[in-house]
Amino acid sequence: MIKTTILLQMILALLIGVSGSILFIYLNLPLPWLLGSIFAASIAMRFEKLPIQSPKTFSPPARVLIGLTIGSAFTPEILQFLDVYFFSLLLVIPYTIITIVAGMYYFYRFQGFDKKTAYLSSMPGGVIEMVIIGEEIKANISKITLVQSSRLFFIVITLPFVIQYIFQVDIAGNKLITLPIKDVNLIELLVLITLGFIGGIIAKKVKLSAAFLIGPMIISIVLHATGLVTTTVPDELLKFVQVVFGTIIGFTFKGVDFKTIIKTLIATFGHFVILVTISVVFISLAYYLFDFPIISTLLAFTPGGQAEINLIAILVSASVPYITLHHIVRLFIVMNIAPIFAKRL
């Protein structure tokens, strides 16, 4: 059980995140609930005397809600087009391999990382998963955590601006994402969330990667694809999810001295440029070969965290099934080849 004091400190951190979101809404900046909370939390955590803690306890419930929202996009109509995605999904294999090889060479050759740390730092996978593998093979955990967190930070910060100002898709302000809670069938929603948590627990038991995202997503896909459930996660809860993830990302560098943060950000920015270059090539290939919408293709081949990228996909009304399948394939490749090659190193 969480102590009351710790819970209150987490809630205070979330409230600080909300204040940043309100500021971003006022300034009409893109993705205010996510980016505003990142901004506020990253400043607040520098003040050591503030009684705040990263709200990591809220991460599993937030992931469940994203999983359920992703699953709700898999309607019977959408499922008819899954075969169209096949050749685009094949591109994920060389994309992932090239990303890993280029990243490992960069960190090993130019940043002086040992091979194991360079390998796991280059992985376009989740921070937690790479840290777990790093602990098993005795790599430098602190470097892996900082680099992976920095990569996610750069992607989440830049993507909304690219989408809004280059592709002219409006994601600014306090825009309604889904139905407000007053228009949702509350009993059906309660059943959906309960089943989502059960799906997450089962996925965790069978050691499925990103369990609290994938488990509820599978449950939601089954329920929505068969037409048993039509309710989606309401707008208010999705805004809460954005604040949770934004605040957690803002706390990533807590306890790390400013000099180390700057050094890591500079090092990771070089890797980020490599990632952008590789991504642009594969986004262009997928776009011109298969004629999918550019925003969906962009998000499908963006090496960010699955939860964060899918959240952005939901917010910009992109093709969530197309994007989700690409990230599942990438995560599957990463989680299956990472332990094998890491142990060989």
In tens, the pLDDT along 209-237 reads: 678 888 998 999 899 888 888 888 898 89
Give yes or no for a contact between 279 and 159, defined as CB atoms under 8 angstroms apart.
Answer: no
pLDDT of residue 245 exceeding 90, the answer is: no
Higher pLDDT, 59 or 208: 59
Per-residue pLDDT, averaged over 151-156, amounts to 85
Question: Looking at the DSSP assignment, which residues form a beta bridge with residue 329?
Answer: none
Confidence class for position 79, pLDDT limits 50, 70, 90: low
Alpha helices in the chain (DSSP H): 4-26, 32-44, 59-72, 76-79, 86-90, 92-109, 115-122, 127-136, 141-161, 186-205, 211-225, 235-250, 258-290, 294-300, 306-315, 320-344
Alpha-carbon distance 246 to 214, whole Å?
Answer: 20
- What percent of the chain has a predicted confidence (pLDDT) above 90? 32
Band (174; pLDDT cuts 50, 70, 90): low
Q: Quick one: tokens of 7?
A: 């819970």
Beta partners for residue 30, in sequence order: 172
Q: Is 2 left (phi over 0), alpha (psi -120 to 50) or beta?
A: beta
Alpha-carbon span 321 to 176, nearest angstrom = 21
If one compares 268 and 125, the residue with the highest pLDDT of the two is 268
Q: 177: pLDDT confidence band, cut at 50, 70 and 90?
A: low
Judging by beta carbons within 10 Å of its beta carbon (0-12, 13-18, 19+), is residue 106 exposed, middle or buried? buried
Mean of the pLDDT values across residues 313-318?
81
Residue in the block written with tokens 């069938």: 185
Q: Which of 83-97, 169-183, 268-282, 297-311 has the lowest mean pLDDT?
A: 169-183
CA distances, 70 to each of 65, 86, 147, 193, 233 (Å): 9, 19, 28, 13, 10
Is the pLDDT reported for residue 77 higher than 70?
Answer: no
102-129: average pLDDT: 87
Helix (H, G, I), strand (E, B) or coil at 30: strand
Q: How far is CA 19 from the centre of its chain?
A: 22
| CB burial string 161-176: b at 16+ within 10 A, e below | eebbeeeebebbeeee
In this prediction, residue 22 carries a pLDDT of 94
pTM (two decimals)? 0.74
The helix/strand/coil state of 134 is helix
Q: pLDDT tier at 1 (50, 70, 90 boundaries)?
A: low
Choose between 339 and 130: higher pLDDT. 130
- Rounded to whole angstroms, the Cα distance separating 233 from 187 reads 12
Token output for 44: 């607040």
Mean pLDDT of 146-164: 85
